């Protein structure tokens, strides 16, 4: 029995390590990009993603009509673009997430944020805390106004969801082999 537990623990560790080392590129709004056309639900978009430290967030838009500003939580809520923490204007902006917590972005063009062109990129603290320290997940100052840690069940679900199919198959085979041999013993 202890062997089973150890085998599974090793597998989970491998899965977690693979997951952490794989930096994903997330294009905001997917094919729609960063826009006011079509009422893209950026809250829904970010809710369906799992963000990690080291991931790249990509904003694609026509720079004649839009921009990207990183702001505080308060400015995000009130769509206040008067004092952004960072501003991006190329229309093809790639931002590497280097800290856990919330990262708030809005379009600074008047009316656009109010119209829904705003997105909260949240790197869950709960998931990061479970993961052994790696160069990527090094401790850095928390993002401003980050408060809500994701429930632990969330991170387990996302881990399973993101785990490599081969690893899951391997886990199944290992469980079968270990249990199978213990029945014969
Ligand atoms: C917008 O944010 C800035 C910086 O935090 C603040 O000084 C200003 O009062 C805010 N404006 C409004 C209308 O809330
Ligand atoms: C954005 O930049 C990347 C390289 O950083 C390039 O491969 C891509 O084609 C660019 N996309 C647009 C829409 O300009
Ligand atoms: Cu805009």
The per-residue pLDDT for range 128-155, each reduced to its tens digit, is 455 544 444 444 444 444 444 444 444 4
Within 6 Å (CB) of ligand 1, which residues are found?
75, 78, 80, 82-83
Q: Which is the closest atom of ligand 1 to the Cα of 83?
A: 4
Which CATH superfamily groups domain 23-123? Cupredoxins -  blue copper proteins (2.60.40.420)
Tens digits of per-residue pLDDT, 73-120?
999 999 999 999 999 999 999 999 999 999 999 999 999 999 999 999
pTM higher than 0.75: no
Burial of 47 (0-12, 13-18, 19+ CB in 10 A): exposed
H/E element, 120: strand 118-123
**Which residues, listed in sequence order, are joined to residue 4 by a DSSP beta bridge?**
none
* Interval between CA 123 and ligand 3 midpoint (Å): 24
Q: In whole angstroms, give the CA distance from residue 46 to residue 26.
A: 9
Q: Measuring from atom 9 of ligand 2, which residue has the nearest CA? A: 92
Is 96 near ligand 2, meaning CB less than 6 Å away?
no
Distances, alpha carbon 172 to alpha carbons 6, 7, 11, 85, 136, in Å: 14, 11, 11, 47, 30
CA 145, distance to chain mean position in Å, is 17
Q: Under a CB-based contact definition with an 8 Å cutoff, are residues 68 and 151 in contact?
A: no
């Amino acid at each position: 029995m202890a062997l089973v537990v150890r085998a599974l623990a090793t597998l989970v560790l491998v899965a977690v390590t693979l997951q952490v080392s794989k930096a994903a590129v997330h294009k905001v709004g997917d094919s729609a990009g960063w826009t006011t056309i079509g009422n893209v639900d950026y809250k829904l978009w970010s809710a369906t993603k799992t963000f990690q430290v080291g991931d790249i967030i990509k904003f694609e838009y026509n720079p004649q009509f839009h921009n990207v500003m990183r702001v505080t939580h308060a400015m995000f809520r009130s769509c206040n673009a008067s004092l952004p923490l960072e501003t991006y204007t190329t229309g093809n902006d790639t931002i590497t997430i280097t800290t856990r917590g919330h990262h708030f972005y809005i379009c600074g063009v008047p009316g656009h944020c109010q119209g829904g062109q705003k997105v909260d990129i949240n790197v869950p603290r709960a998931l990061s805390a479970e993961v052994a320290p790696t160069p990527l997940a090094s401790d850095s100052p928390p993002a401003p106004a980050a408060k809500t840690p994701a429930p632990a069940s969330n991170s387990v679900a996302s881990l399973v969801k993101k785990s490599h199919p081969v690893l899951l198959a391997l886990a199944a085979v290992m469980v079968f082999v270990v249990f199978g041999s213990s029945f014969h013993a």
